[in-house]
Amino acid sequence: SSFVTVSCKSTIRGTVEGTETTGEITALTFTECVSNQASNCSATSTASEESPWHSEAAATGSGNGTMEVSNVGGQFTCTVFGIKTTCVYADGTVGDAGEIVVTGGTTATVKATNVTLTRQAGSGFGCSSTGTWSGTYQVTTPHDLYIT
């Protein structure tokens, strides 16, 4: 969010459907959240087994690709100037604003860069109209991942 930057460690869990390039993100969890201008920050996402984020990857060559993710949403809560504030963000499809890049290999990575999300109802006073999601995730299972 433009008024505060919240940084956390995060983990994504998901599935890939067979050998296809489609799948589901069923969890995005956050720990150890800190902020540049706030305290007591935490973050959650809407990704779950009951409400997964659909993902689809497209090959760009050499085992790498880009990914579009839909049904994305989440929120963060921080204490700002002594007031507990929650900002809720979501977007229908991620892929047009910002980007998610998959670098294939024996230690594949998924990197979200400046993915723009829109403020939703339920956000507190002072939440900016947009927020961005950026993060780099190391793929641990499957051990080898290539987008073809």
Percent of the chain with pLDDT over 70: 91
d(CA 45, CA 28): 6
Question: Do you know the residue count of the chain?
Answer: 148
Residues 4 and 80: beta-carbon distance below 8 Å: yes
pLDDT in tens, 78-115: 988 888 999 999 985 554 456 889 999 999 999 998 88
What pLDDT is stored for residue 18 in this prediction?
66
Residues 131 and 87: beta-carbon distance below 8 Å: yes
Residues 6+ apart with CB under 8 A from 70: 53, 54, 55, 92, 93, 94
Percent of the chain with pLDDT over 90: 42
Mean pLDDT of the chain: 86
d(CA 53, CA 76): 18
